C-alpha cells in the first residue's frame, strides 16, 4: 500500500536545496516563522498548505494548494529591502517552475504550477513580502 505524499515537505526541501534560493535565504525555509522574534532571521520563506484535495484511486494522489511567503529584510533604518525581496521571490519562482510537470523526488512524482505572485508587505512594519500560490500535484510512486 502506498503512503500519502507530502507536497509541503517536498517544496520546503527543494527550496532549501536550490542554489539560487539558498544564496539569498540559506536554509531558512520553514513551515512557519520562528516564534521567538530574536530567532527569526530574515530573509526567510514560509511554506503552507492552504487548500487542495486528495484522491485515492489506484495510488494516493494529493493536489495541494501551497502558499510560499517570501519574507524580506529591513535595513538599519527599518525600511524594507524590496529589491532583495524581489530577487528572493524570483529565485523561489524559478525553483518551482524548474520542477515542471513531472519530477521524481524521494519516491514521489510531483508537478508544480505557479498560479499567482502577490506583493503583500507586512502592514505593521512594512517588512517586504511576496506571496506565491502554487498548485502541487503529488503521487506516491
Average pLDDT, the chain: 90
Cα–Cα distance, 70 to 114 (Å, whole number): 14
Residue 60 lies in a domain: yes
Residue 2 lies in a domain: no
Which pLDDT score is estimated for 43? Answer: 96
Helical ranges in 1-141 per DSSP H: 7-17, 19-25, 82-99
Radius of gyration of the chain (CA): 16
Residue 1 lies in a domain: no
Provide the CATH number for the domain around residue 48.
3.30.2000.30
User: pLDDT-derived band of residue 2, with 50, 70 and 90 as boundaries?
Assistant: low
Residue 126 lies in a domain: yes
Residue 22 lies in a domain: yes
Average pLDDT over every residue of 71-82 = 92
Residue 130 lies in a domain: yes
Give the residue numbers spanning the domain of 97.
7-140
Which pLDDT score is estimated for 40? Answer: 82
* CA-closest candidate to residue 72, choices 24, 134, 36, 23: 24
Q: How many domains does the chain divide into?
A: 1
For residue 34, pLDDT beyond 90: no
Amino acid at each position: 500500500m502506498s503512503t500519502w505524499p507530502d507536497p509541503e515537505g517536498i517544496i520546503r526541501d527543494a527550496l532549501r536545496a536550490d542554489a539560487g534560493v539558498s544564496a539569498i535565504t540559506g536554509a531558512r525555509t520553514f513551515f512557519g516563522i520562528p516564534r521567538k522574534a530574536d530567532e527569526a532571521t530574515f530573509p526567510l520563506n514560509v511554506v503552507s498548505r492552504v487548500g487542495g484535495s486528495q484522491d485515492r484511486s489506484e495510488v494516493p494522489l494529493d493536489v495541494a494548494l501551497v502558499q510560499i511567503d517570501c519574507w524580506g529584510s529591513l535595513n538599519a533604518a527599518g525600511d524594507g529591502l524590496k529589491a532583495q525581496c524581489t530577487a528572493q521571490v524570483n529565485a523561489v519562482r524559478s525553483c518551482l517552475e524548474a520542477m515542471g510537470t513531472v519530477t521524481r523526488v524521494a519516491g514521489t512524482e510531483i508537478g508544480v504550477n505557479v498560479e499567482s505572485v502577490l506583493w503583500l508587505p507586512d502592514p505593521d512594519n512594512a517588512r517586504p513580502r511576496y506571496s506565491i500560490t502554487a498548485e502541487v500535484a503529488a503521487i506516491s510512486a
